């Protein structure tokens, strides 16, 4: 249980950080979609380690291999199997922690749950698993692109350094122009400086990623439990290190009065629009055609380059020493992961909406 996501456009992943490979099976991709392998690989590059001075220096090429489901450049409707070999598979690196529980990692909880654990770099609990999600998300993005829908995420906070501008005030095409993936060049520079200083302190820091989905049609969402934002929230909360999710007005909206918060409807040409968008493009769990936007909170990475007190499997007090190559801040590399998961949700709900009305059957 727990390795699949989605209902019709559905992915199933496998793989540990230091096993032979990661993999993902993508079911439900409609037949006839042109599959651009280069695009998938580009998305992988955005997530891969070693891409800049503020990410882990671990080396993984993260080359994808499509094993099925694509024929003569197009999806065939059958499941698309993709594997990503783990190149940097140095399990010896981890012998020093093989029986120790690293603080705020999943070592202890996996051990309690399964009675056994693959101690090499976190095993299944490692964020390395998200590589498979990015590959699958790239295919979802192609589907959305074919329907004119875009998904764009960016870093909006690092520590207490906050990008105060709204997404509408930003040029999201600038996100990829700097290594921290913040579309405001000035704030980006400050974020990079902050992350770099934290790294030099042998410490880590948290951040926030904002995401905007544009041109999604009205009518996406499955009430009552599978509301569109509930599924987006679950998708985000399933990403490593995520501690919170809010959409539209979010936690700030709590302070507003209904008379301020309500989004008035108006007719704009053929379309019904809203004059404001505190709803974040979703009302009653269903998209209303406005921009869908949300924010995702990431905690500071648990692996720090410092000694920490802990216990081992026998319950003895031990010291866990920081070793290896790790990210001082996870958000720059998490931007494509957020986009991938969002794209998977929207693709899935697009398919689900095909059978809403009797006239469509």
Cite the annotated binding site for FMN by residue number: 124-126, 240-241, 284, 299-303, 325
- The answer to whether 191 and 180 have CB atoms below 8 angstroms apart is yes
Q: Is 224 in the site for its own copies (CB under 8 A)?
A: yes
Indicate the annotated binding residues for NADP(+): 47, 53
Instruction: Choose, by CB under 8 A, the member of 51, 52, 76, 174 that binds its own copies.
Output: 76
Phi and psi torsions of 320, nearest 5°: -100, 120
Sole window of 47-55, 167-175, 177-185, 250-258 interacting with its own copies (rule: CB under 8 A)? 250-258
**Cα 87 to Cα 128: distance, rounded to the nearest angstrom:** 12
Residues 6+ apart with CB under 8 A from 11: 4, 5, 24, 25, 26, 27, 132, 133, 136, 344
Q: Is 64 in the site for its own copies (CB under 8 A)?
A: no
Q: Is 167 in the site for its own copies (CB under 8 A)?
A: no
**Cα 200 to Cα 57: distance, rounded to the nearest angstrom:** 14
**β-strand pairing of 271-274 with 317-320:** unpaired
Q: Is 179 in the site for its own copies (CB under 8 A)?
A: no
Residue whose CB is less far from its own copies, 161 or 172: 161
Q: Is 54 in the site for its own copies (CB under 8 A)?
A: no
Q: Is 198 in the site for its own copies (CB under 8 A)?
A: yes
Phi and psi torsions of 43, nearest 5°: -60, -40
Angle subtended at Cα 105 by Cα 104 and Cα 106, rounded to the nearest 5 degrees: 125
Output the smallest distance, CB 302 to its own copies, in A. Answer: 6
Output the smallest distance, CB 183 to its own copies, in A. Answer: 19
Instruction: Choose, by CB under 8 A, the member of 187, 216, 310, 336 that binds its own copies.
Output: 310
Q: For the segment 329-358, give every residue that binds its own copies (CB under 8 A).
A: 350-358
Sole window of 6-14, 37-45, 51-59, 175-183 interacting with its own copies (rule: CB under 8 A)? 6-14
Tell me the per-residue interface mask from 92 to 131 with its own copies, x by CB under 8 A, - otherwise: ---------x-xxxx-xxx-xxxxxxx----xxx---x--
Residues 6+ apart with CB under 8 A from 272: 265, 266, 288, 289
Q: Is 63 in the site for its own copies (CB under 8 A)?
A: no
Q: Is 77 in the site for its own copies (CB under 8 A)?
A: yes
Instruction: Choose, by CB under 8 A, the member of 25, 152, 175, 210 that binds its own copies.
Output: 25
Sole window of 42-50, 169-177, 186-194, 234-242 interacting with its own copies (rule: CB under 8 A)? 234-242
Tell me if residue 22 falls in helix, strand or coil: strand
Output the smallest distance, CB 119 to its own copies, in A. Answer: 9
Tell me if residue 134 falls in helix, strand or coil: helix
**Cα 157 to Cα 153: distance, rounded to the nearest angstrom:** 12
Q: Is 55 in the site for its own copies (CB under 8 A)?
A: no
Residue whose CB is less far from its own copies, 98 or 177: 98
Determine the angle formed by the axes of helices 130-146 and 37-47, rounding to 10 degrees. 130
Q: Which two tokens stand for residue 329?
A: 């801040």
Q: Is 75 in the site for its own copies (CB under 8 A)?
A: yes
- The answer to whether 29 and 77 have CB atoms below 8 angstroms apart is yes
Output the smallest distance, CB 173 to its own copies, in A. Answer: 25
Residue whose CB is less far from its own copies, 152 or 157: 157
**Cα 325 to Cα 332: distance, rounded to the nearest angstrom:** 16
Q: Is 324 in the site for its own copies (CB under 8 A)?
A: no
Total residues in contact with its own copies, by rule CB under 8 A: 156
Q: Is 89 in the site for its own copies (CB under 8 A)?
A: no
């Amino acid at each position: 249980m727990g390795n699949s996501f989605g209902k019709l456009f559905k992915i199933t992943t496998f793989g540990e950080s230091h096993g032979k490979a990661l993999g993902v099976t993508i079911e439900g991709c409609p037949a006839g979609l042109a599959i651009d392998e280069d695009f998938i690989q580009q998305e992988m590059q955005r997530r891969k380690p070693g891409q800049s001075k503020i990410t882990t220096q671990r080396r993984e090429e993260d080359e994808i291999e499509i094993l099925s489901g694509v024929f003569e450049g197009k999806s065939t409707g059958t499941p698309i199997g993709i594997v990503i070999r783990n190149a940097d598979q140095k399990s010896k690196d981890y012998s020093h922690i093989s029986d120790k529980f690293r603080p705020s990692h999943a070592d202890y909880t996996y051990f309690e749950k399964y009675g056994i654990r693959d101690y090499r770099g976190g095993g299944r609990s490692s964020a390395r698993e998200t590589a498979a999600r990015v590959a699958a998300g790239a295919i979802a993005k192609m589907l959305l692109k074919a329907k004119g829908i875009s998904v764009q995420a960016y870093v909006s906070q690092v520590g207490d350094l906050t990008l105060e501008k709204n997404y509408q005030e930003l040029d999201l095409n600038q996100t990829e122009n700097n290594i921290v993936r913040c579309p405001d060049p000035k704030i980006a520079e400050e974020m990079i400086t902050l992350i770099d200083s934290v790294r030099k302190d042998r410490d880590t820091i948290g951040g926030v990623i904002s995401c905007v989905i544009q041109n999604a049609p009205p009518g996406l969402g499955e009430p009552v439990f599978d509301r569109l934002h509930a599924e987006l929230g679950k998708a985000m909360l399933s990403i490593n290190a995520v501690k919170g999710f809010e959409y539209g007005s979010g936690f700030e909206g709590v302070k507003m009065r209904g008379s301020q918060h309500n989004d008035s409807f108006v007719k704009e040409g053929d379309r019904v629009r809203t004059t404001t968008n505190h709803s974040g493009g979703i009302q009653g769990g269903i998209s209303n055609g406005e921009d869908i936007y949300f924010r995702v909170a990431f905690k500071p990475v648990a692996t720090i380059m410092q000694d920490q007190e802990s216990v081992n499997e026998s319950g003895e007090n031990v010291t866990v020493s920081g070793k290896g190559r790790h990210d001082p801040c996870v958000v720059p590399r998490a931007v494509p992961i957020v986009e991938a998961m969002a794209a998977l949700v929207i693709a899935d709900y697009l398919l689900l909406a095909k059978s809403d009305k009797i006239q469509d059957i």
